[in-house]
Amino acid sequence: MPNKEHKGVRSKKIGRHSQQTYLIENIKNMLPLYQTYLSRHLTRAELLLLVGLKQISSPNVAQSRFVRGED
């Protein structure tokens, strides 16, 4: 089963890129009515802003370096 990670549930291996992707997916899952709209109309910067706003409301979810914009 080499494609296990691609079946909808992301693994909890948190690297710099995968954590960012995981958080963006989390935000989309929290807003299911807007999931399609977000993926089609929001830029990467706007998604990262949402990640930052989510971090302010629950600080344990992300690390501050994502809010500061380090990639």
Residue 3 resides in a domain? no
* Within a domain: 1: no
pTM above 0.85, yes or no: no
- Report if residue 8 sits inside a domain: no
Residue 27 falls inside a structural domain: yes
Total number of domains constituting the chain: 1
Q: In the structure, what pLDDT confidence band is assigned to residue 1 with cuts at 50, 70 and 90?
A: very low
Query: Is 61 part of any domain?
Result: yes
Query: What pLDDT, in 10s, does the model give residues 14-71?
Result: 556 666 677 777 776 666 556 566 666 667 777 777 777 776 666 554 455 555 555 4
In a domain, 44, yes or no: yes
**What are the start-end ranges of the H helices in the chain?**
16-30, 35-41, 44-57, 64-68
- In this structure, is residue 41 part of a structural domain? yes
φ/ψ (deg, to 5) at 10: -80, 145
